A and B are shown apart, each in its own frame.
Chain A
Amino acid sequence: QKEVEQNSGPLSVPEGAIASLNCTYSDRGSQSFFWYRQYSGKSPELIMSIYSNGDKEDGRFTAQLNKASQYVSLLIRDSQPSDSATYLCAVSPNRDDKIIFGKGTRLHILP
């Protein structure tokens, strides 16, 4: 059974600090990794995708991938109250295989 694990939280971070969200996955052959943000009562929206080992930066967001450790993380710099949401990690084992979502981490940015 392929699995994606996330700490459910809530993770509380002061405004302006760095929020660090972590995700581990079981299928060593996984190729594509995604972070989605879901506000309460809303549908998920893609924040970042990452396919290669290392860091990928987009504005205040940085995704980090370590395939050897089967670990993917999302860093949010200068956290804002509007970043308070549930963050879903998603993994695609290969090009044509379905995406597996983690259960999400609830992030709460403290004003």
Chain B
Amino acid sequence: KAGVTQTPRYLIKTRGQQVTLSCSPISGHRSVSWYQQTPGQGLQFLFEYFSETQRNKGNFPGRFSGRQFSNSRSEMNVSTLELGDSALYLCATTPGTSPFQETQYFGPGTRLLVL
């Protein structure tokens, strides 16, 4: 069974631009969670999607948004990029009934650098 895939793996953007990241879950997994990882703040929860609906949201500004498609693939978008958005963005997927009790399978991440 194929693992979680994320594209692109690396991105370089400049301040003010926007970016879209993609996550394809393991087949049969319907819950997709997004995390931001930085050396200073560690791994922080952004949001979680299930059946095309956002079920949980972390404490990030509205510049961070996401969506999920009918095939469970998910995208996250960051608008008006700031230098502090430079980070590793990870998605994690689970079958979905209780995503925070189940084993979360992480993708390889997208490393975003904002200049």
Contacts and interface: CB of A to CB of B under 8 A. Distances in A.
On chain A, which size bracket covers the interface? 10 to 19
A62 to B, nearest CB: 18
Given A43-B108, A43-B109, A101-B44, A95 B58 contact: no
Contact of A88 (B41, B43, B103): B43
B56 A101 contact: no
Contacts of A13: none
Contacts, number: 49
Contacts of B70: none
Contacts of A98: 33, 45, 48, 56, 58, 100
A99 B41 contact: no
A44 B42 CA distance: 12
A18 interface: no
B104 A99 contact: yes
A22 interface: no
B44 to A, nearest CB: 7
